[in-house]
Amino acid sequence: MESSLPETTFDYIIAGQGLAGSLLSYYLEMAGKTALVIDPGLFPTSSRIAAGIVHPVTGRRIVKSWRADELIPFAEQAYRLLEQKFRKTFYFNRPILEIFHSVNHMNDWLARSGEDSMQHYTGERIESNGIAGINMPLGGMIVRGGGHLLIVSSLKPCGLAWQKSTACWRKLLIII
């Protein structure tokens, strides 16, 4: 421990200021609770190196991401609230190009795209020469409903805000 703890009391202590800790502390603040966010500020962490792609369809079996219909709109709403608070834009709705890497992959996608539960997420099929500069001999498919989060840009102002409010303790590493 590098210095003594603040003498204030907090309703909650959150270990880690990644995406989870950041959003949890924000929602606690909105609920009128106080939280001490503790993070050693080390690099790398998952949140700081992640691509930030919000993809509604995942895995080899091409299934809808867990509770995507509910959680992706919730995530977007959460990031928009943070954007308003910090006056920065972090989240961008983006179409995602899924490149077919094998005939099986292509057939699986084409079969899935016909399913009712996937209608909201599957867009048009792209032919092999459909996008200049992208090598995709089997073509691909546009996936809708996802996006891109600039994670570091969203975490930084959260951390700075907590430091200002002395509710962030960056140097303390809790050994669990």
Ligand X SMILES: Cc1cc2nc3c(=O)[nH]c(=O)nc-3n(C[C@H](O)[C@H](O)[C@H](O)COP(=O)(O)OP(=O)(O)OC[C@H]3O[C@@H](n4cnc5c(N)ncnc54)[C@H](O)[C@@H]3O)c2cc1C
- The residue ranges that bind ligand X (CB under 6 A) are 15-21, 38-40, 42, 45-47, 49-53, 173-174, 176
- Tokens linked to 142: 């546009």
Nearest to 126 by CA among 111, 147, 109: 109
- Give the sign of the dihedral formed by CA 64, CA 70, CA 76, CA 82: negative
- Tokens linked to 7: 């003498």
Identity of the residue, 53 or 134, whose beta carbon is nearer to ligand X in the bound complex: 53
Identity of the residue, 38 or 168, whose beta carbon is nearer to ligand X in the bound complex: 38
- Give the sign of the dihedral formed by CA 100, CA 102, CA 105, CA 108: positive
Identity of the residue, 47 or 113, whose beta carbon is nearer to ligand X in the bound complex: 47
Identity of the residue, 8 or 46, whose beta carbon is nearer to ligand X in the bound complex: 46
Residue 132 Cβ, how far from ligand X at the closest point, in Å? 25
- Tokens linked to 131: 């996008």
Residue 174 Cβ, how far from ligand X at the closest point, in Å? 4
Identity of the residue, 44 or 133, whose beta carbon is nearer to ligand X in the bound complex: 44
Return phi, psi of residue 86, to 5°. Answer: -100, 0
Residue 46 Cβ, how far from ligand X at the closest point, in Å? 4
Residue 103 Cβ, how far from ligand X at the closest point, in Å? 26
Question: Integer distance in angstroms from the first to the last C-alpha of the chain?
Answer: 14
Residue 135 Cβ, how far from ligand X at the closest point, in Å? 22
- Tokens linked to 145: 């409903």
Distances (CA, A) of 138 to 99, 106, 125: 8, 7, 11
